[in-house]
Amino acid sequence: MAIYQFGFTVIPKSGILEKYGQVPERLPIDHEAWERFYQQLDLDKMDESPDFEDALTFEWWKNSNINAVSAIQIVDAIAKRAPWSNSVDSISWKNEGDDIADEDASLGFDVQTNKIKDFSFRFDLRFGVNKFLKTLVVFCEQHGLLLMDTTGNLIEPKIELIGQLVSTSNAHRFVSNPTQFFDDLSSGRLTIE
């Protein structure tokens, strides 16, 4: 992820309520287990799955009835399909260029049922609240979806809540003052999320 991007994993609120009975402020992400998983990953077997459970491995969408076609149509209207997006059961989008926000989305789905299996997106902080972000927030709001950042913070899809999360992020620190960001990073006063 580029340092000026901020990303979310999209999760159905119903899946959270089913597992926890309420919506916690934060979901557990086992960063150490992910690091071990990627270190041991055999590049010839890219379909390997982690043998641990955390917020990134749990099947939040398994009982959701949100059809992938509606999400695909929404994202197609705001982003270009990525050149590498040629899988039967997933689609990726990517916008980037000199004067274009560096933003992307990815959606996995069951080809038999057209139900979403996973959904995520990243937006470019340098461009503020733009059409890409607004459109995805509205879609998530209309379909009872929540947003989880890379550290497990879980929020309702509201621009003001996104702004609060972003304001404490390294991405925001970088965009606000790149020189100070790198000074803090090199001195150890700051670590990458």
Question: Does some domain include residue 149?
Answer: yes
Read off the pLDDT of residues 28-66 as tens digits, 9 standing for 90 and up: 999 899 888 888 877 666 667 888 999 999 999 999 989
Question: Does some domain include residue 150?
Answer: yes
Report how many domains make up the chain. 1
Question: Does some domain include residue 81?
Answer: yes
Question: Does some domain include residue 84?
Answer: yes
Read off the pLDDT of residues 63-101 as tens digits, 9 standing for 90 and up: 998 999 999 999 999 999 998 877 899 999 999 887 788
Question: Does some domain include residue 54?
Answer: yes
Q: Global pTM?
A: 0.84
In the block, which residue shows the tokens 């965009």? 175
Domain that holds residue 122: 5-187
Dihedral pair phi/psi, residue 108, rounded to 5°: -105, 145
Residue 96 and residue 111: Cα distance in Å, rounded? Answer: 29
Question: Does some domain include residue 193?
Answer: no
Q: pLDDT value at position 128?
A: 82
